A and B are shown apart, each in its own frame.
Chain A
Amino acid sequence: MSKLRIRVDQDKCQGHARCKSLAPELFELDEYGNAHEVGDGTVPAGLEDKAWLAQTNCPEIAIEVTEE
């Protein structure tokens, strides 16, 4: 499987926190509850499904997943 990278679009994120709940290893929340990708957004092996799950449950379509 190719390597995945995630990014949270800060203009779109409204802090629903669905990603943090579904993939806590991949996302962190700031003091306002808005989401950011952990580190540079590289998805560690084995967490690909969680990355896609977070992406498909974000109501604001704020999460980009790219295959490298």
Chain B
Amino acid sequence: MSDSPSASFLPEHPPVTDWVHDFDHTDPVWTDDPFPIWETLRAASPVVHTERFLGCYMPTTYQAVKEIAYDTEHFSSRRVIVRDVRPEISARAPPITSDPPEHKPAKQVLLPPFTPDAMKRLEPRVRAICNELIDEFIADGHCDAAARYTKHIPVRAIAHMLGIPEKDGDLFIKWIHQILELGIKDENEMMSGVREMTGYFMAHLEQRKLAPSDDLISQLLRAKGPGGQPLTDEHVLGSLRLLLIAGIDTTWSAIGSSLWHLARTPADRERLIAEPALIPTAIEEFLRAYSPVTMAREVIKETTISGCPVKAGNMVLLSFPAANRDPAMFPDADKVVIDRKENRHAAFGLGIHRCVGSNLARMEMQVAIEEWLKRIPDFRLDPAGKVTWSEGTVRGPRQLPVLFGKNA
């Protein structure tokens, strides 16, 4: 799925030679291994700038990321992806693209269906999904764990919540690829993905209006906005867009990175099998060390962050993943310590935009790792295959060839 930028786009993105003054989060070097780059940027300044993407800053320390995440006066969420273009804002996705005061009521509508208790009710279905997927390849002794396992878990879980057919998952994956990866450089791909997705959900909306049920789409249609009025169709569609875009390749990536780590680290694998009670703590560490999601803000008023001047009109690459590798915040930041006791990681963001699906993501990760380790305790990367990583806003393995069983 992780298409490299095709040749026609390359002239716009010349290879980076000076990371500190000309960073590019779509450069193949960054995609392959961003960690040493972040270290270089952090050593240079708490905030760096590039002229690419029509001007963009990146905070490199936990402290600078936190300052920006908490500052909704100078930094707007109206654009949440750093792209080559900045067209007029058309397709909103509240609350992720909302600023105060619109943000809070839009978020409160979405929160109750995603509490830990609600996730407990969904958990048995997710456990079954994981086992159905494993059944399909376990006899082979090898699989691409990204394509056959991690990719399908969040899609089917969110489809189940929304009350739409789990088999439509492949459509969702295509739209997300168009919006989050191809869309950074190609407006037509972005708009075509958004258009198809909107049409698909509009049909489901109309159907729920005629025959309401208990699923999340029906719940949103029943929900009341701030003035006690029902939400508009446009608002419901925006929130559904958000759930799909934010809820799928993020968790796909997080589960994939966790399996990638475990495939390469037999000691951690053995310890989690011997002490399954440690899995939730290990999941937090995987979230810290391999945070999948980088957000964005737009500077709307000049200010200073960690002593660095920041000018309006620029975008901000809000790298929670880089913040989570800051040694000033986390001792041994570059080591994966699966029993790390103190872990205030920011994988789900900080401040008012805390990921609405964090409880869902955590449950999916835990269940996916538990079920995999139960049935495939011993596995390793396939030396004949190649691990590839997604480009841009969400980082995770898109090909993850592993050997197990008779091949372990």
A interface residues with partner B (beta carbon < 8 Å): 14-18, 20-21, 29, 31-33, 53, 56-61
Q: Closest approach, in angstroms, between the C-beta of B255 and any C-beta of chain A?
A: 18
Interfacial chain A residues near B111, Cβ < 8 Å: 15, 31-33
How many Å lie between the Cα of A36 and that of B116 in the bound state? 14
Residue contact B354 to A15, C-beta cutoff 8 Å:
yes
Whether, in the assembled complex, B192 has its beta carbon less than 8 Å from a beta carbon of chain A, the answer is no
Residue contact A16 to B354, C-beta cutoff 8 Å:
yes
CB within 8 A of B359: which of A14, A17, A58, A59? A17
Residue contact A14 to B354, C-beta cutoff 8 Å:
yes
Contacts A14-B352, A17-B116 known; A33 to B359 CB distance under 8 Å? yes
Contacts A14-B351, A14-B354 known; A59 to B344 CB distance under 8 Å? yes
* Residue of A14, A20, A56 with most partner-chain B CB within 10 A: A14
Residue contact A31 to B115, C-beta cutoff 8 Å:
yes
Interfacial chain A residues near B112, Cβ < 8 Å: 31-33
Interfacial chain A residues near B115, Cβ < 8 Å: 17, 29, 31-33
Residue contact B341 to A53, C-beta cutoff 8 Å:
yes
Interfacial chain B residues near A57, Cβ < 8 Å: 284, 342-344
Ranked 7 nearest A-B pairs via Cβ: A14-B354, A32-B111, A56-B342, A33-B115, A59-B344, A31-B112, A33-B111
* Residues of chain B from 342 to 399 with CB closer than 8 A to chain A in the complex: 342-346, 348, 350-352, 354, 358-359, 362
Interface size on B, residues (CB 8 A): 23
Residue contact A16 to B358, C-beta cutoff 8 Å:
yes
Residue contact B108 to A32, C-beta cutoff 8 Å:
yes
Q: Closest approach, in angstroms, between the C-beta of B383 and any C-beta of chain A?
A: 37
Query: Whose C-beta in chain A lies nearest to the C-beta of B117?
Result: A29
How many Å lie between the Cα of A53 and that of B344 in the bound state? 11
B interface residues with partner A (beta carbon < 8 Å): 108, 111-112, 114-117, 280, 284, 341-346, 348, 350-352, 354, 358-359, 362
How many Å lie between the Cα of A59 and that of B346 in the bound state? 7
Contacts A14-B352, A32-B108 known; A56 to B114 CB distance under 8 Å? no
* Residue of A20, A31, A57, A58 with most partner-chain B CB within 10 A: A57
Interfacial chain B residues near A33, Cβ < 8 Å: 111-112, 114-116, 359
Residue contact B348 to A16, C-beta cutoff 8 Å:
yes
How many Å lie between the Cα of A32 and that of B110 in the bound state? 9
How many Å lie between the Cα of A33 and that of B359 in the bound state? 9
Residue contact A20 to B341, C-beta cutoff 8 Å:
no
Query: Whose C-beta in chain A lies nearest to the C-beta of B114?
Result: A33
Interfacial chain B residues near A59, Cβ < 8 Å: 344-346, 348, 350
How many Å lie between the Cα of A53 and that of B114 in the bound state? 24
Q: Closest approach, in angstroms, between the C-beta of A23 and any C-beta of chain B?
A: 13
Residue contact A56 to B344, C-beta cutoff 8 Å:
yes
Query: Whose C-beta in chain A lies nearest to the C-beta of B116?
Result: A17
Q: Closest approach, in angstroms, between the C-beta of A19 and any C-beta of chain B?
A: 11
Q: Closest approach, in angstroms, between the C-beta of B65 and any C-beta of chain A?
A: 11
Interfacial chain A residues near B341, Cβ < 8 Å: 53, 56
CB within 8 A of A20: which of B116, B284, B346, B354? B116
9 example contacts (A-B, Cβ-Cβ < 8 A) are as follows: A20-B116, A29-B115, A29-B116, A31-B111, A31-B115, A33-B116, A56-B341, A57-B344, A59-B345
How many Å lie between the Cα of A18 and that of B351 in the bound state? 15
How many Å lie between the Cα of A20 and that of B362 in the bound state? 13
Interfacial chain A residues near B108, Cβ < 8 Å: 32
Interfacial chain B residues near A15, Cβ < 8 Å: 111, 354
How many Å lie between the Cα of A59 and that of B352 in the bound state? 12
How many Å lie between the Cα of A29 and that of B342 in the bound state? 22
Contacts A17-B358, A33-B359, A53-B341 known; A60 to B350 CB distance under 8 Å? yes
How many Å lie between the Cα of A14 and that of B69 in the bound state? 12
